[in-house]
């Protein structure tokens, strides 16, 4: 019996081992999977959307005028002060015109226009402008700005005129002292004004040894007056623009007769018919540019940053009667 029992136990132990082995080798069910979320978590990287390049608006090109060349006959003071260096590029950029400036005294500037040699004029001599208008050669005479004239002299002031408020009285004292006086002598607006002051002072200065007609533009004249230690008449704007390079002081100012008025005048195409082609479209565009509020603002501020005061008072829309000394 003991051998059979021993054999039976051996069979049971073997069977138990087979059952255990079968349990360990049975296939397992796959682990459940978690579906991917519909939206990525907040900190997930996402490729940014492509931004189309910015399209900047372009400034339309200024149409080129049919006749782009414009001849300007002008007084020298708007050149010597630097005002035209500012205004002409503005006008050309806005309109497509190309300005050819010719600078002379007002008398010569008007004479050039009278002969059909210019399309538009800037001058400051009413006594010369009015006959030009009456002849039919000028049209649309328009006030643009003013400043004033001043009597300049060497600091030693040999005629003792400093502080006078009458230009005529100052000229009388210069003549009495036989002090050197330098004149434009070129028929310009300044020259015409100076001659009228001598007349009102009842002084015949012509031919006097102390009186010199230099036939120079305004900037050159005050340079010469400084070198010669002489008196002279200047517009205020040109004096301020050249003050740092000369040794002349303001002797007389504030006299109402020293008012200095600037006009722009179109040259009439009808005056010359078909013999000379006047660019009236360009002249009209330039006149309108000068009285435009934006241009007038530029004129009114010109010189303030450099000289501490403006060189011109803008006058578009005003009358001459409403103006006062600068």
Q: What is the CA radius of gyration of the chain?
A: 45
pTM: 0.78
* Residue 139: pLDDT over 90: yes
Residues of the chain within CATH 3.40.190.10 domain(s) are 69-147+259-322, 149-258
Give 265-311 pLDDT, tens digit per residue.
Answer: 999 999 998 889 999 999 999 999 999 999 999 999 999 999 899 99
Residues 57-86 as b or e (16 or more Cβ within 10 Å = b) = eeeeeeeebeeeebbbbbbbbbbbbebbee
Where do we find the tokens 């600068």? 326
Per the model's pLDDT, the better-predicted residue between 54 and 45 turns out to be 54
Q: How confident is the model at residue 9, as a pLDDT?
A: 44
Category of 116 on φ-ψ map: left (φ > 0), alpha (ψ -120 to 50) or beta:
left
* Residue 56: pLDDT over 90: no
- Give whole-number Cα distances, 36 to 39, 40, 48, 274, 282, in Å: 9, 9, 22, 90, 76
* Residue 55: pLDDT over 60: no
Taking CA 297 as the corner, what is the angle to CA 293 and CA 298, rounded to the nearest 5 degrees? 120
Q: Is 115 helix (H, G, I), strand (E, B) or coil?
A: coil
Tokens of 287: 């006149």
- Strand pairing of 231-235 and 181-183? parallel
Dist CA 161 CA 166 (whole Å): 10
Q: Is 326 helix (H, G, I), strand (E, B) or coil?
A: coil
Where do we find the tokens 């003549």? 175
**Which CATH architecture group holds 69-147+259-322?**
3-Layer(aba) Sandwich (3.40)
Q: What superfamily in CATH does domain 149-258 come from? A: Periplasmic binding protein-like II (3.40.190.10)
**Average pLDDT of 61-67?**
85
Q: How many CB atoms lie within 10 A of CB 23?
A: 8
- Candidates 74, 88, 79; CA nearest to 265 is 74
């Amino acid at each position: 019996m003991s051998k059979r029992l021993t054999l039976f136990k051996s069979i049971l132990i073997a069977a138990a081992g087979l059952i255990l082995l079968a349990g360990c080798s049975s296939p397992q069910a796959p682990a459940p999977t978690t579906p991917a979320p519909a939206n990525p978590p907040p900190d997930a990287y996402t490729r940014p959307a492509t931004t189309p390049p910015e399209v900047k608006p372009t400034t339309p090109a200024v149409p080129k005028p049919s006749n782009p060349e414009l001849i300007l006959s002008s007084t020298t003071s708007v050149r010597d002060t630097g005002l035209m260096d500012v205004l002409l590029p503005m006008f050309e950029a806005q309109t497509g015109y190309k300005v050819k400036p010719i600078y002379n005294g007002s008398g010569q500037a008007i004479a050039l226009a009278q002969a059909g040699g210019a399309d538009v004029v800037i001058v400051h001599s009413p006594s010369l402008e009015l006959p030009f208008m009456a002849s039919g050669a000028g049209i649309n005479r328009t006030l643009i700005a003013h400043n004033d004239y001043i009597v300049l002299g060497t600091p030693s002031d040999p005629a003792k005129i400093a502080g006078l408020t009458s230009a005529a009285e100052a000229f009388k004292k210069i003549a009495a002292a036989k002090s050197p006086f330098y004149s434009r002598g070129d028929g310009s607006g300044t020259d015409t004004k100076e001659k009228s002051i001598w007349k009102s002072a009842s002084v015949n200065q012509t031919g006097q040894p102390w009186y010199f007609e230099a036939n120079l533009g305004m900037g050159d004249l005050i340079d010469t007056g400084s070198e010669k230690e002489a008196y002279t008449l200047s517009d205020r704007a040109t004096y301020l623009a050249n003050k740092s390079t000369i040794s002349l002081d303001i002797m007389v100012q504030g006299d109402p007769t020293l008012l200095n008025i600037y006009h722009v005048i179109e040259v009439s195409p009808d005056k010359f018919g078909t013999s000379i082609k006047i660019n009236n479209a360009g002249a009209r565009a330039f006149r309108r540019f000068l009285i435009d509020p934006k241009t007038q603002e530029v004129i009114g501020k010109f010189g303030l940053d450099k000289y501490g005061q403006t060189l011109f008072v803008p006058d578009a829309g005003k009358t001459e009667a409403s103006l006062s000394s600068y």
